[in-house]
């Protein structure tokens, strides 16, 4: 029992008793079951890992490694662990809720269209979309977190003799394209060996396109992937290990869009003549630029259903805004799913998101969209969900789509998202939250309240298809840095392949609004059963050093 003192004014202090985290009754019973004479031996620990934690590959050698690491931090008899050290083990990094160390276990030999890809939007912007700085820093940070698709907007520089990266039509300050490309090369495979795709939003005249082609080849060299012919089927992530690919519109589409802007009042035959002349001139001047493009992007026409039609012997990428996707999902959802079985679909935030906020990624994911592009510099709940999805599969940036998204008939059965009650429950997840710790070590004494310890509560939510969304909330523990909740909840899962467990801790404050105290988001498909230590992260998704929860997960 500790006492803390908060000064309220010059002559008045508030005093609070702090209760240190106690071993819960559940954990005491587990320890008794797997210990002898008050000590847990290496063999006992191994049995606990296999039977209780469902780690079927655990061995006595692995249990001994845990013992050896615990001896560096705690004193305990050579014969075995006493309950206090066992409790600290449960709260340690040897006992995380996802596989550790992270491991790629999905089949990586299917075509690219079979995978969700960790995708950035305007990857060079440091803040808002209107007047913030453009830099290589957010590109580097994204790649180090496993992002695999980087977007660059290309514009002529002020002298029209070079290429800058910036958000066109805004006050964002530019950064040179060459610096962005070097940053990508130096950091592309720091978090994952699987391919990096660079999407160019091209606003360049033909002579600068040729300059870009030469720059890209010089900087990336042998790691640049340039196919000899157009793809009839996309290659796999396994085939493309440690390769960089370029995706943009071919020169013809670029010229069509540029010419349309310049000569809107020309007759159709005049416009076609001008496009043909410009296209022929570019083909003579810069065939390198066309050969640079590995993944061809096409403009979505006024008839979305025509744009989504399949072309024999050809695969491509289309881009839709979040609003365009919603509209398409309402009247041709099956066409979206069929298109994304072979082709790539990129979804990007609507233009009104000037503050770099994000949107619900599930509209894209449930319709097979591989590239759901996000503003990675944000700190909203949808970004936490995105980070949670791509903690799966070893954090490699590629997550294989569920089988029902590769079969339109199954899609109709499993993802008729309006019929939540019609879907059959596949499994039930039981979650018990025991306690939390680490806030006092992570934050200043008055971080949450200048005159008292925090009043912490936890929201546990399933995010996924509408039929699975569910939200539970614990009671608030007043004036404690190490809250003990000991509460259990159940969640029915109908589409567990796409379900994530979102956990958010807040400090209750009815005056200034509940204050953020940590979050994490975990893929249900990789959640390890048993009693687990769950580290929390800040708003940006960076892990806290000390803040964690002790939880138990059971599937029934």
Residue 137, classed as helix, strand or coil, is helix
Q: CB neighbours (10 Å) of residue 381?
A: 17
For 18, half-sphere exposure in the C-beta direction (CA atoms, 13 angstrom radius) is 19
Q: CB neighbours (10 Å) of residue 372?
A: 29
From residue 414, how far is each of 21, 389, 406, 417 by CA, in Å? 44, 19, 12, 8
Q: For the sheet with 500-507, list strands across it.
A: 470-473, 456-463, 500-507, 515-523, 530-537, 543-555, 427-437, 484-493
Q: Name the burial class of residue 124, with classes exposed (0-12), middle (13-18) and buried (19+) by CB atoms within 10 angstroms of its CB.
A: buried
Q: Are 401 and 446 in contact, with CB atoms under 8 Å apart?
A: no
**Helix (H) / strand (E) containing 152:** strand 149-156
**Helix (H) / strand (E) containing 149:** strand 149-156
Sequence-separated (6 or more) residues with CB below 8 Å from residue 249? 202, 257, 296, 297, 298, 299
121 is catalytic: yes
Q: Is the dihedral of CA 278, 279, 283, 287 positive or negative?
A: positive
DSSP state of 122: S
Q: Are 448 and 454 in contact, with CB atoms under 8 Å apart?
A: yes
551 vs 494: CA distance, rounded Å: 23
Residue with tokens 């022929």: 280
Orientation angle between helical segments 251-262 and 206-220, nearest 10 degrees = 150
523 vs 502: CA distance, rounded Å: 9
What are residue 320's DSSP bridge partners?
347
Sequence-separated (6 or more) residues with CB below 8 Å from residue 49? 55, 58, 62, 63
392 vs 438: CA distance, rounded Å: 26
259 vs 250: CA distance, rounded Å: 14
435 vs 330: CA distance, rounded Å: 43
Q: State the DSSP string of 182-233.
A: HHHHHHTTSS-SSPEEEEEEE---HHHHHHHHHHHHHHHGGGB---SS--SS
Orientation angle between helical segments 83-90 and 60-71, nearest 10 degrees = 100
Identified catalytic residue from 15, 74, 82, 167: 167
Identified catalytic residue from 114, 121, 296, 367: 121
Name the nearest CA neighbour of 545 among 438, 453, 431: 438
**Catalytic amino acids?**
121, 167
């Amino acid at each position: 029992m500790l006492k803390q003192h908060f000064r309220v004014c010059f002559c008045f202090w508030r005093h609070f008793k702090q209760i240190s985290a106690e071993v819960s009754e559940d954990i005491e019973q587990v320890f008794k079951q797997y210990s002898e004479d008050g000590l847990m031996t290496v063999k006992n620990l191994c049995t606990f890992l296999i039977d209780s934690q469902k780690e079927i590959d655990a061995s006595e050698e692995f249990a001994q490694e845990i013992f050896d690491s615990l001896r560096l931090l705690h004193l305990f008899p050579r014969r075995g662990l006493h309950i206090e050290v066992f409790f600290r083990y449960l709260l340690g990094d040897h006992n995380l809720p996802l596989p550790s160390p992270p491991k790629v276990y999905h089949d990586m030999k299917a075509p690219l269209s079979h995978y969700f890809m960790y995708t950035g939007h305007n990857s060079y912007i440091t803040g808002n979309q209107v007047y913030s700085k453009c830099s290589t820093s957010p590109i580097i940070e994204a790649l180090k977190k496993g992002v695999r698709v980087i977007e660059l907007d290309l514009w002529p520089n002020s002298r029209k003799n070079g290429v800058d990266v910036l958000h066109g039509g805004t006050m964002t300050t530019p950064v040179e394209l060459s610096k962005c490309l070097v940053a990508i090369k130096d950091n592309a495979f720091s978090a994952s060996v699987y391919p990096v795709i660079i999407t160019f939003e091209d606003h360049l005249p033909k002579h600068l396109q040729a300059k870009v082609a030469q720059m890209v080849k010089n900087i990336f060299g042998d790691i640049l992937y340039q196919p000899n012919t157009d793809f009839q089927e996309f290659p796999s992530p396994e085939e493309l290990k440690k390769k960089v690919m370029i995706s943009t519109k071919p020169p013809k589409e670029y010229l069509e869009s540029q010419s349309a802007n310049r000569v809107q009042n020309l007759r159709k035959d005049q416009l076609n003549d001008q496009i043909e002349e410009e296209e022929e001139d570019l083909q003579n001047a810069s065939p390198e630029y066309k050969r640079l493009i590995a993944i061809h992007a096409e403009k979505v026409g006024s008839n979305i259903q025509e744009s989504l039609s399949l072309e024999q012997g050809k695969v491509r990428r289309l881009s839709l805004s979040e609003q365009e996707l919603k509209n398409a999902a309402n009247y041709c959802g099956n066409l979206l799913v069929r298109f994304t079985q072979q082709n790539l679909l990129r979804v990007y935030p609507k233009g009104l998101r000037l503050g770099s906020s994000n949107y619900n990624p599930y509209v894209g994911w449930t319709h097979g969209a591989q590239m759901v592009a996000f503003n990675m510099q944000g700190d909203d709940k949808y970004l936490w969900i995105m980070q949670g999805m791509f903690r799966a599969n070893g954090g490699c940036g590629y997550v294989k789509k569920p089988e029902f998204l590769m079969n339109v008939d199954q899609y109709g059965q499993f993802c008729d998202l309006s019929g939540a009650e019609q879907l059959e429950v596949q499994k039930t997840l039981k979650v018990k939250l025991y306690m939390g710790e680490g806030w006092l070590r992570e934050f200043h004494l008055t971080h949450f309240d200048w005159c008292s310890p925090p009043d912490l509560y936890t929201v546990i939510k399933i995010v996924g298809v509408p039929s699975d969304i569910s939200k539970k909330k614990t009671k608030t523990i007043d004036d404690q840095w190490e809250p003990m909740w000991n509460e259990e909840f159940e969640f029915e899962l109908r589409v567990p392949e796409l379900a994530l467990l979102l956990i958010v801790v807040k400090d209750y404050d009815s005056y200034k609004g509940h204050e953020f105290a940590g979050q994490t988001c975990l893929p249900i498909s990789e959640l390890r059963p048993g009693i687990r230590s769950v580290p929390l992260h800040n708003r940006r998704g960076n892990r806290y050093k000390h803040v964690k929860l002790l939880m138990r997960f059971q599937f029934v």
